[in-house]
Each structure stands twice: as structure tokens, then as C-alpha cells.
Amino acid sequence: SQQGEEDPQALSIQEGENATMNCSYKTSINNLQWYRQNSGRGLVHLILIRSNEREKHSGRLRVTLDTSKKSSSLLITASRAADTASYFCATDPPAGNKLTFGGGTRVLVKP
Amino acid sequence: EPEVTQTPSHQVTQMGQEVILRCVPISNHLYFYWYRQILGQKVEFLVSFYNNEISEKSEIFDDQFSVERPDGSNFTLKIRSTKLEDSAMYFCASNGLAGITDTQYFGPGTRLTVL
């Protein structure tokens, strides 16, 4: 798989349920960031986790990072219809600034 | 809260024409970027810009592309002679601090359609 691959590709849940998506990457990273994109719109930054961090919370979001497995997960708790969007992980290397994005997970939260 | 802005939101052009996409990064930011997303595909890095010069560019960023910071606020991406395959959403991003990497904040994008 390429740097920054999410799974599943698509996820459909009922409002109130939790949504979990995973991201795997191949090379060393400095940070890993999660972004949300509503259909045809811009990228909204959700959370950044540094390579020396293992878990981070922001509101209903929980992100984990396991550098030994080169993977991260994003959990959205108590999902709402407004959480319907595509979610992308993006990694940046130890040297340099460019972000490498995964293909995204499309999340549909049904009311 | 400060945000990155981009104009226009949608640009339609004929193949072979030049286009300039404009961005106003967050005011105290130091690093500026362009990314693109072809419909249904991943977001791809094009170029990063710091201290008035390109710091990194991808293979996509060939001689048809150029970037400029013409004044203290704007950051532009020029495509000299557009091709059909340049049709995509183009995102500008910026981040700041003296640090190497930190959160990159993205603008809402410009949808470029090349006919």
C-alpha cells in the first residue's frame, strides 16, 4: 500500500454510533494529521498527532498512533449526521513539509 | 479565527490558456503550499514555498507551473498552458511558526475546469 492508506474506504453507520477508521503508512513520519472534507469542499483540519505521541483527544475525536505498526486510527464517538464526510490521514516526513494524503474513508451517518 | 482564502472558487478555461489561482494565506504564516485533487482521487502535493523561494516540488510541478508571492499577502499558482488533465481542485495551504512542520491550514479550494 502507499503512504497514507485508509480503511475502510467507506463506512455507513447510524447516528449515535461510533465510527472508526484506520490509516497505515510506510515510511518514517514527523506528524500525522487527520482532515475532513465535505463533498466538493475544502479540507478541514481535525487533529495532529506527533510521532512521539500515542493518543490524542479533541471533543468527540480520538486519535491513536502506533509508530511500530505505522498505523493510526480515528474514532468519532456519538456520530451525528453532520459528520458525514470523507476523512483523510496525511503524513509528513521527518525532513520537509509536504503532506502525503491517503485515499480517504467516506463516512455516511444516517439519521 | 484566521483562515486561508482562495479565489476564484471556480475557474473555467480553454485548453492552452494561462490561469492564475490566487490564495491569501494566514497572515503570520511563513510556509505556503499548493496541492491538487483530481476528482475522485487523492490530494497530491505540488509545491512548497518559503522565504520567497520554492523549497520542494513534486514531479507534477513541471515547467508549466510557477508560484509567486507578489506582495505581502497573496500567493499565486500560475499554469502557463493548461491541459485537460489539469482539471482538478487546487488547494492552497499555509503553516507558520519557526518550526519545520505543524498543522497545515487549507483554503476552500479553486475548482479548475479545462475544456
pLDDT tens digits for range A20-39 = 999 999 888 888 999 999 98
Higher pLDDT, A13 or A97: A13
Average pLDDT score over residue span A67-84: 96
**Phi, psi of B53, deg, nearest 5:** -150, 160
Q: Do A99 and B91 touch (CB under 8 A)?
A: no
- A1 pLDDT higher than 60: no
Query: By CA distance, what is B43's nearest residue in A?
Result: A101
For residue A71, give the 3-state DSSP assignment: strand
| Minimum-distance CB partner of B101 among A30, A35, A103 | A30
A7–chain B nearest CA distance, Å: 14
pLDDT band at B70 (very low <50, low <70, confident <90, very high): confident
- B5 pLDDT higher than 60: yes
B70–chain A nearest CA distance, Å: 22
**Position of cell 476552500?**
B108
Q: Do B101 and A102 touch (CB under 8 A)?
A: no
Please give the pLDDT value at position B98: 47
Query: CA triplet B63, A27, A97: central angle to 5 degrees?
Result: 45
Residues 42-61 of A with CB under 8 A from B: 42-45, 48
A93–chain B nearest CA distance, Å: 9
For residue A81, give the 3-state DSSP assignment: helix
**Phi, psi of A81, deg, nearest 5:** -55, -35
In angstroms, the CA A14 to CA A11 distance is 10
**Position of cell 505581502?**
B72
Query: By CA distance, what is A4's nearest residue in B?
Result: B42
Q: Could you read off the pLDDT of A37-68 as tens digits, one per residue?
A: 998 788 999 999 999 999 999 999 999 999 99
C-alpha cell at A58: 479533541
> In sequence order, what DSSP letters do the residues of chain B get, joined into one string?
----EEE-SEEEE-TT--EEEEEE--TT--EEEEEEE-TTS-EEEEEEEETTEEEEE-TT--TTEEEE--SSS-EEEEESS--GGG-EEEEEEEE-SSSS--PPEE---EEEEE-
Instruction: Kindly state the percentage of chain B with pLDDT values over 90.
Output: 75
Count of A–B CB contacts within 8 Å? 65
- Evaluate whether B50 touches B31 at the Cβ level (below 8 Å): yes
What separation in angstroms does the CA of B99 have from each of A95, B1, B109?
Answer: 11, 21, 25
CB atoms within 10 A of CB B44: 20
Query: CA triplet A92, A97, A103: central angle to 5 degrees?
Result: 45
Average pLDDT across chain B, whole number? 91
- B2 pLDDT higher than 80: no
In angstroms, the CA B74 to CA A99 distance is 22
- B99 pLDDT higher than 70: no
Please give the pLDDT value at position B71: 86
Q: Do B100 and A42 touch (CB under 8 A)?
A: no
Average pLDDT score over residue span B91-115: 85
Q: Do A40 and B89 touch (CB under 8 A)?
A: yes
pLDDT band at A4 (very low <50, low <70, confident <90, very high): low
Please give the pLDDT value at position A2: 43
Question: Residue A99 carries which side chain, given as an amino acid letter?
Answer: L
Please give the pLDDT value at position A93: 81
Please give the pLDDT value at position A5: 78
Average pLDDT score over residue span B92-105: 76
Contact residues on chain B for A99, CB-CB shorter than 8 A: 33, 35, 43, 45, 93, 104
B85–chain A nearest CA distance, Å: 18
